[in-house]
């Protein structure tokens, strides 16, 4: 977000301005939907700007610039109804281990943050002993065998989004975070080893490799939906 922690006046930030710009460009007829992708380690250029440093102006510039580009792209899209429309989806529940020693992590959170920790980590501190793993839902959708959408329940690093799109075999691939719950940051294995905010502090607690595991499973589900994975060896068919 463009606004910093001192913002108590606005809520939609640059996304609200982007939506308004795009919808007005189409005469106010369509409804613009914004999907949050893999933004765990990326921000707008003017992120966390204090109110007294022209935060509102920078919010408007960011939203209008993004909205105009989205409008330019959208105006060149030509769609047509499919001859045989299809909708396929899969929901997988993964038991994701906690990265840290569960009890030491819980005690450290309570000692460091006090009651505020219940705002962000209730699923970890409400239980004694704390859970060693948490159930997380992965959703994979395939529309008309051409449009793929995967949803992860955390704040994934952007490399997961890039990797998913590069490896997805359908023309249009969309990647969304913050879906079906929120379990803080999902760093890549490399980022986990390098450390830093969202990769090695208390804002991430999923086991290393969780994001890679989810992306791989989503790709498997898509190939199953496309009929490219068989349950019988090729030489035994």
Q: What is the mean pLDDT of each run of 10 residues along the chain (237 residues)?
A: 90 94 89 91 94 95 96 91 95 96 89 84 79 95 97 96 96 95 95 95 95 98 94 86
Do both 119 and 143 map to the same domain?
A: yes
Please give the distance of CA 38 from its chain centroid, rounded to a whole number: 4
Do both 62 and 91 map to the same domain?
A: no
| Residue where the block lists tokens 């239980």 | 127
pLDDT at residue 6, as a whole number:
93
The first and second tokens of residue 30, run together, are 């369509």
Do both 162 and 208 map to the same domain?
A: yes
Is residue 233 in a domain? no
Do both 27 and 112 map to the same domain?
A: no
Q: What is the number of structural domains in the chain? A: 2
Residue range(s) defining the domain that contains residue 178: 87-225
Do both 120 and 142 map to the same domain?
A: yes
Is residue 134 in a domain? yes
Do both 32 and 136 map to the same domain?
A: no
pLDDT at residue 46, as a whole number:
95
Q: Which helix (H) or strand (E) holds 192?
A: helix 189-194
Is residue 213 in a domain? yes
d(CA 119, CA 121): 6
- Torsion on CA atoms 180, 99, 164, 214, rounded to nearest 10: -60
SS3 31: coil
The first and second tokens of residue 117, run together, are 């920790």
Is residue 163 in a domain? yes
Do both 57 and 123 map to the same domain?
A: no
Q: Kindly give the pairing relationship between strand 172-176 and strand 147-151.
A: parallel
């Amino acid at each position: 977000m463009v606004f910093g922690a001192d913002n108590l006046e606005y809520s939609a930030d640059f996304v609200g301005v982007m939506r308004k710009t795009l919808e007005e460009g189409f005469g106010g007829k369509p409804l613009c939907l914004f999907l949050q992708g893999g933004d765990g380690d990326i921000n707008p250029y003017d992120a966390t700007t204090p109110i007294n440093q022209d935060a509102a102006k920078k919010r408007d510039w960011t939203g209008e610039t993004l909205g105009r580009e989205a409008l330019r792209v959208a105006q060149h899209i030509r769609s047509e109804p499919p001859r045989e429309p299809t909708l396929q989806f899969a929901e997988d529940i993964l038991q994701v281990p906690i990265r840290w020693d569960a009890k030491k992590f819980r005690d450290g959170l309570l000692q460091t943050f006090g009651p505020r920790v219940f705002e962000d980590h209730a699923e970890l501190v409400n239980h004694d002993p704390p859970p060693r793993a948490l159930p997380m839902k992965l959703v994979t959708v395939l529309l008309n065998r051409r449009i793929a959408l995967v949803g992860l329940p955390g704040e994934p690093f952007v490399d997961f989004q890039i990797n998913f799109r590069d490896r997805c075999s359908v023309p249009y691939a969309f990647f969304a975070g913050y879906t079906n719950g929120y379990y803080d940051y999902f760093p890549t294995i490399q980022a986990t080893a390098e450390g830093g905010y969202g990769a090695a502090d208390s804002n991430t607690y999923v086991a290393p490799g969780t994001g890679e595991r989810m992306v791989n499973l989503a790709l498997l589900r898509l190939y199953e939906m496309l009929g490219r994975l068989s349950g019988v060896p090729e030489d035994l068919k």
